[in-house]
């Protein structure tokens, strides 16, 4: 057991007692071992080459969690002790889940600016009851220019598909949606800084993050998902994976040069190690 896990367990015991600690451990094991949470047979990732390579990459090139103040808020962990009601939070890629945004806004009574232009997100947000005083939703995407961009379809729902700028799902169908640079969106909202940035943007994170760093926008925390391939049955080209891994290594180095810790967030539920999830934390934050 590493020190981070021990400190988290100790913190839970002190705040919730033995009963609360036992419940937390039981819930954790349930998420990791229950096929309903995992989405497949538990530990299937051990037998899939792509997942093993993703797991190995995270262990080799990313930092292990070492701060007990990094705790989960819905889908993503964040360093909680530097978040408050005045924190400025931007999230990109809602899809059909508002779990992270709601947990975070409720915990700190802070406003969250959410962006997603795809049909599945627009319909989901239209039909969902949420706190509109804290959660602000906009039908824009994020990109490296202010322009309309092709979003290739992800057929979550035939009537209301999601989308990927990089065509992660290998689909010929697309729609054009308005996108903006992060700096442009910040100007629209009269923000000169961001405390927390979350992105689940289906393959586009590489280009967007390079643009953000080049424009010297340095949020205190960035939670981001890096997708390699959505091909089923472990179908992938290892040369393509090595190119993807090189791009991610170079980006991680760029963040380190900008004074960030780069934490590996190994996914234990919902198809473990199917993507690489990273929490970048500014050391001076």
pLDDT range class, residue 67, cuts 50, 70, 90: very high
Angle between helices 238-257 and 49-61 (to 10 degrees): 20
Query: Can you tell me the distance from the alpha carbon of 163 to that of 122, in angstroms, rounded to the nearest whole number?
Result: 12
pLDDT range class, residue 239, cuts 50, 70, 90: very high
- The CA R_g of the chain, rounded to the nearest whole Å, is 19
Query: Can you tell me the distance from the alpha carbon of 141 to that of 208, in angstroms, rounded to the nearest whole number?
Result: 11
Query: Can you tell me the distance from the alpha carbon of 29 to that of 15, in angstroms, rounded to the nearest whole number?
Result: 20
Q: What is the pLDDT of residue 230?
A: 65
- Mean residue pLDDT of the chain comes to 91
The answer for residues whose C-beta is within 8 angstroms of residue 13's C-beta and 6 or more apart is 20, 21
Q: What is the pLDDT of residue 231?
A: 63
Q: How many CB atoms lie within 10 A of CB 134?
A: 18
Per-residue pLDDT tens digits for 177-214: 999 999 999 999 999 999 999 999 999 999 999 999 99
Mean pLDDT in residue range 42-56: 91
Mean pLDDT in residue range 50-76: 93
On whether the CB atoms of residues 152 and 164 are closer than 8 A, the answer is yes
Domain ranges of the chain: 1-33, 40-139+183-282
Per-residue pLDDT tens digits for 123-161: 999 999 999 999 999 999 999 999 999 999 876 555 657
CATH superfamily entry for domain 40-139+183-282: Vaccinia Virus protein VP39 (3.40.50.150)
> Looking at the predicted structure, is the pLDDT value of residue 283 above 90?
yes
Integer CA distances (angstroms), 94 to 104, 128, 199, in order: 14, 12, 9
Within its chain, how far is the Cα of 174 from the centroid?
23
Q: What is the pLDDT of residue 33?
A: 83
Mean pLDDT in residue range 156-171: 77
Query: Can you tell me the distance from the alpha carbon of 118 to that of 71, in angstroms, rounded to the nearest whole number?
Result: 29
> Looking at the predicted structure, is the pLDDT value of residue 54 above 60?
yes
Mean pLDDT in residue range 104-108: 97
On whether the CB atoms of residues 144 and 182 are closer than 8 A, the answer is no
On whether the CB atoms of residues 208 and 174 are closer than 8 A, the answer is no
Per-residue pLDDT tens digits for 71-103: 999 889 999 999 999 999 999 999 999 999 999
Look-up of token digits 């891994």: 245
């Amino acid at each position: 057991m590493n020190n981070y896990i021990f400190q988290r367990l100790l913190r839970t015991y002190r705040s919730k007692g033995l009963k609360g600690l036992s419940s937390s451990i039981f819930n954790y094991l349930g998420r990791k071992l229950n096929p309903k949470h995992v989405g497949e047979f538990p530990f299937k990732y051990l037998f899939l080459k792509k997942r093993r390579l993703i797991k190995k990459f995270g262990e080799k090139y990313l930092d292990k969690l070492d701060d007990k103040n990094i705790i989960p808020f819905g889908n993503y962990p964040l360093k909680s002790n530097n978040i408050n009601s005045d924190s400025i939070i931007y999230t990109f890629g809602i899809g059909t889940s508002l779990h992270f945004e709601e947990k975070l806004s409720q915990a700190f009574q802070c406003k969250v600016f959410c962006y997603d232009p795809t049909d599945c997100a627009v319909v989901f947000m239209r039909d969902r009851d949420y706190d509109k005083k804290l959660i602000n939703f906009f039908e824009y995407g994020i990109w490296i220019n202010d322009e309309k961009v092709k979003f290739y379809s992800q057929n979550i729902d035939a009537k209301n598909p999601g989308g990927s700028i990089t065509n992660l799902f290998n689909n010929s169908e697309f729609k054009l949606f308005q996108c903006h640079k992060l700096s442009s969106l910040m100007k629209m909202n009269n923000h000169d800084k961001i405390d927390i940035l979350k992105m689940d943007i289906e393959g586009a994170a590489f280009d967007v993050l390079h643009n953000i760093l080049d424009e010297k926008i340095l949020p205190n925390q960035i939670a981001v998902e890096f997708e390699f391939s959505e091909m089923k049955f472990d179908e992938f080209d290892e040369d393509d994976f090595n190119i993807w891994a090189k791009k991610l290594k170079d980006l991680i180095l760029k963040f380190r040069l900008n004074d960030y810790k780069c934490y590996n967030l190994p996914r234990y539920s919902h198809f473990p190690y199917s993507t690489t999830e990273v929490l970048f934390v500014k050391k001076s934050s």
